[in-house]
Amino acid sequence: MLQYTRGGPARGEAYLAGGYAGGTRESQRDLISLVVPFHNEAAITGAFFDAVVPVLQGIPDSDYEIVCVNDGSTDATLERLIAACDANPRVRVIDLSRNFGKEAALTAGIDLADGAAVIPFDADLQDPPEVIPQMVARWREGYDVVLAKRAERQTDTYAKRGTAALFYRVHNAISDTEIPENAGDFRLMSRQVVDSLKQLPENRRFMKGLFAWVGFRTTQIEYVRQARVGGESKFSGWKLWNFAIEGLTSFGTLPLRVWTYLGGATAGFAILYAAYLILRTAVRGVDVPGYASIITAVLFLGGVQLVGIGVIGEYVGRIYMEAKRRPVYIVRRTYRQGQS
């Protein structure tokens, strides 16, 4: 029987790992890795560790590590993370060379986490850490992925709730990979799932989609999302819009195919309209065409063509960025107790 290991393969390497075979487990104490991106969160760093550490310590038959990824913070976040690392040997700090974005920071933490189970987690504590023991319990029942689904989102604005619901509906309608609605990055993944994620080579990473794409046996638990303990969200409306575009173009080509259908429908309408003009001219004679109708048709078709070019450009841009094969992130330095 294969057992969990306290380390995974480097990105691009693959081997079969896991802790289950025939519904039984052999490991006695499981290492639980909490992966937490930080970007300018100095105001809530202390509250984060005060809330999370007691919960992780209370999980039976397990050990834990907290993998903190400093994603190019410009405030005192790194200093406070290093202080937490010096005070607790189970805290590790990964300092990225600049701000690469949350998806890259999550990738870095997942790549470097050693746990038999890995849990992405937000530093703002909107996802309550008290849910983690429930996730571990479901994992020990034999599930590879335990989703934490938001039962309600009253802490979010009405506009954010509405646009999020619209995004999930549109994404799941046009994508080859369905994303569970109201389930963010907060989830537990077994070592086998993590090793599968580390095999995926793309540089532009939409993590929710990648989590769903790898599959595995999945269950979910519900929780109530809390308000931030402090600070401000780093996602503006513009960033959320670009994030949605990233998700919509990452796991399906329907936005490209739809222009074939739209072009065919437009051409068919043009043929029918041409036939109508011929018949009308034959019956009623030649009349002077209207200037307004011509301008309207030209502007409409021009707009349709530009939108189509824009969609194609979005995919070409993704191909361009992937072809560069730049690394997803660069680690400037890592910190452990006694090594910083």
Over residues 167-177, the mean pLDDT reads 67
pLDDT over 50 (residue 27): no
pLDDT of residue 34: 92
How far apart CA 117 and CA 140 sit, in angstroms, is 10
* Cβ atoms 135, 52 nearer than 8 A: no
Same domain? For 79 and 176 the reply is yes
Residues 287 and 157 placed together within one structural domain of the fold: no
Q: Which residue segment(s) compose the domain that 110 sits in?
A: 30-251+328-335
Q: Within this chain, do residues 246 and 223 fall inside the same structural domain, yes or no?
A: yes
CATH of the domain at 160: 3.90.550.10
pLDDT tens, position by position, 251-292: 666 676 676 677 777 767 777 777 776 777 777 766 656 655
User: What does the pLDDT read at residue 246?
Assistant: 65
List Cα–Cα distances, 137 to 23, 93, 112, 130, in angstroms. Answer: 14, 27, 24, 12
pLDDT of 128 strictly over 50: yes
The pLDDT-based confidence of 247 (bands split at 50, 70, 90) is low
As given in the structure block, the two tokens for residue 262 are: 């739209």
Give residue-wise pLDDT tens across range 199-212.
Answer: 887 777 777 778 88
Q: Is the pLDDT of residue 333 over 50?
A: yes
Q: Are 156 and 37 part of one and the same domain? A: yes
When the pLDDT of each residue in the chain is averaged and rounded to a whole number, the result is 75
Number of domains in the chain: 2
Q: Are residues 112 and 64 in the same domain?
A: yes
- Of residues 156 and 184, more confidently modeled: 184
User: Which of these, 39, 34, 70, lies nearest to 55 by C-alpha position?
Assistant: 34
Please check whether residues 227 and 164 belong to one and the same domain.
Answer: yes
Instruction: Read off the pLDDT of residues 46-84 as tens digits, 9 standing for 90 and up.
Output: 888 989 899 998 888 888 999 999 988 888 889 889 888
Same domain, 63 and 153: yes
pLDDT value for 253? 64
Identify the residue with better confidence: 270 or 232: 270
Q: How confident is the model at residue 307 (pLDDT cuts 50, 70, 90)?
A: confident
Q: Higher confidence at residue 101 or residue 23?
A: 101
- Strand-pair category, 183-190 with 145-152: antiparallel
205-222 CB burial, b ≥16 within 10 A, e <16? bbbbbbbbbbeeebebbe
Residue 12 resides in a domain: no
DSSP-derived 3-state class of residue 68 = strand
Does one domain contain both 47 and 78? yes
Give which of 23, 91, 95 is closest to 63, Cα–Cα.
Answer: 91
